[in-house]
Amino acid sequence: MSFMVARQRSAVAYGVALAAVALAAWARWQASDFFVEGVPFLTFFPAVLVATVVGGVAVGLFASACSMVIAWYWFLAPAHEWALDGKDAVSLGSFLLVSLMIAIVVSLLQHAVERIAIQEQNLRSLFDSTPNGIVVVGPSGQIVEVNASGERLFGYNRADLIGSEVEILVPRTVAALHVGLRRGFQAAPETRPMGAGRDLCGRRKDGSEFPVEIGLTPMEWAGQKAVLAVVSDITERKQHEESQGVLARELEHRVGNMFVVILAMIRRTLTKGRSIAEAGELLTQRVQLLADAYAVLSESLFKNISLDRLFQIAIGGFKDQVQSTGVDVRVNAKAGQAFSFIVHELLTNAVKHGALSVSSGRIGVRKEIETVDGRQVLVFDWQESGGPPAAPSTRKGFGSFILLDSPKQFGGEGRVAYDDSGLRYELRLPLDAIR
C-alpha cells in the first residue's frame, strides 16, 4: 500500500504533512472573509487527518504543531504577532487536543484495517494453498469464488470461472440433471458428501472428464447464501483400485494355471517304465523349477532382469521340448513382470491344448531386434509344432488380455495365429519402453 510505503520513508511522510499544512493555510487565507472571527483552525483539521493517514501519529502531531504556529501568527488577533490572551490559549489547546484525538483514532482505524487486510491475505493464501479444489457457488448457481487448486484442477483461469454457471464443471451428459439436484440442495442445505455411493466426474476446460469426490458445505459469502464445494481428484486412487482388481484376477488366473502345469508335470513324470523313486526325484526337480520361476517373477518386481533368465526358468521342466535362440535383453521390472505373465500363459496353453500336451510336440522361440522407423523393437516369436492343430478359444478370457492387451502398455503389440501345425505368437516391444 502507498500509505505503508510513505510510513517507511519518514522524509516523504513529513514532506506530505508540510504540504498539507501549507495547503490548509492557503485555503484559510483565501476564505478569511467567510470564517467567524476566532475560528482559525477549521481548514487545518483535514491537514492533520491527511498527515496521520500518511505517516501515523507522530507525523499527525507534527502537522498539528505546524498548524498551531501558522494559525497563531497569521490568523489570531493581533495578526503577525506572538501575543496570546486567555481565549487564544484555550483555542490553541483545544485544537491540539482535538488534533491528538484525530491522530489517535485514525491511527487505530488504520491498524485495524491493516490487520484485517493481513488476515484476509493470510486466509487467501490458505485458501489457495489447499491441495483440493474449492469452488464457492452462489444462490443462483453462479461461481463466486475458486482457489488456485480449483483453477489447475479444471484448467480454467479464475476470471473465466467467476460468474459462470457451475454446470460448466459438470459432464455435459448430466448437466441438466445437475441443475435440479443443485436447486434441491440449496432449498435444504446440509453438510454432506455429494453423490454418495455414485461415481462422479468433473469436466475440464478441454472437455476431458476425470473422477472426483465432492464435499458440500452451506455457508455465507459476501452476505448471501452460498455452497462451498471441496473437489478432490481421485484419478490415482481409481487407477490403484483398478490395478488391484487386475492383480486379483491375475493371481486367481495364475494359481489356476499353476495347478494345470503341476498336474501336467505329474502326468508326464508318472509314465510307464519309471520307478517310483525315479519319478519322485524327477517330479521334485520339475516342481522346484516352477517354484524358481515364481521366485524370479517376484525378483523382477524390484530390479531389472534378463529376459533369457526369465524365459529359461519359466519353461521349467519342459526344456527338452523348447528351443530358444536369439538375443538377450535386460528389461525393467514392469516389462519383466509382463513378459513372465505372457510366457507363463503361452506355456499353460501349450500344456493344455498345444505342443506340450503330447511328448512329440516342440516349441521354437526366436528373439531378435529389428529397426522400424528408426526405433529398435524387440521381436519375440513363439512357434509350436508337432502337437494338435491350434484353434481359437470360443471366449476371450484373461489369457487373451495378457497376450494381446498387456503389450499395449509399452506401445507394443501381440499377435496370435492359429495354424494346423500349432499356435504361433509374435510379441513386438519398443526397446526404449522396456529397458
What is the CA 382 to chain-centroid distance, rounded?
A: 43
Encode pLDDT of 104-134 as tens digits. Answer: 888 888 788 878 777 777 666 666 777 888 8
Q: pLDDT value at position 106?
A: 83
Reported in sequence order, the residue ranges of 167-208 that DSSP labels E, i.e. its strands, are: 192-194, 200-203
Which candidate, 39, 60, 59, 58, places its Cα nearest to that of 49?
60
C-beta separation of 353 from 395 below 8 A: no
Q: Give the chain's domains with CATH numbers.
A: 2-128 (no CATH), 131-233 (3.30.450.20), 238-434 (3.30.565.10)
Compute the distance between CA of residue 114 and CA of residue 4 in angstroms, rounded to an integer: 9
pTM summary value: 0.42
Encode pLDDT of 167-201 as tens digits. Answer: 999 999 888 888 888 888 888 888 777 655 567 89
pLDDT above 60 (res 207): yes
C-beta separation of 350 from 257 below 8 A: no
Compute the distance between CA of residue 357 and CA of residue 372 in angstroms, rounded to an integer: 36
Average pLDDT over residues 37-44: 66
R_g over Cα of the chain: 43
Q: pLDDT value at position 169?
A: 93
Q: pLDDT value at position 170?
A: 92
C-beta separation of 304 from 331 below 8 A: yes
pLDDT above 60 (res 281): yes
Which candidate, 67, 59, 60, 54, places its Cα nearest to that of 27?
67
Q: Looking at per-residue confidence, does 288 or 349 come out higher?
A: 349
DSSP codes, 58-101: HHHHHHHHHHHHHIIIIISSSTTS----HHHHHHHHHHHHHHHH
- pLDDT band, very low/low/confident/very high, at 254 (cuts 50, 70, 90): low
Q: pLDDT value at position 415?
A: 93
343: how many CB neighbours lie within 10 A of its CB? 23
Compute the distance between CA of residue 402 and CA of residue 256 in angstroms, rounded to an integer: 15
- pLDDT band, very low/low/confident/very high, at 431 (cuts 50, 70, 90): very high
Which candidate, 326, 244, 339, 358, places its Cα nearest to that of 293?
339
Q: Looking at per-residue confidence, does 376 or 271 come out higher?
A: 376
Q: Which of 165-179, 257-271, 286-300 has the lowest mean pLDDT?
A: 286-300
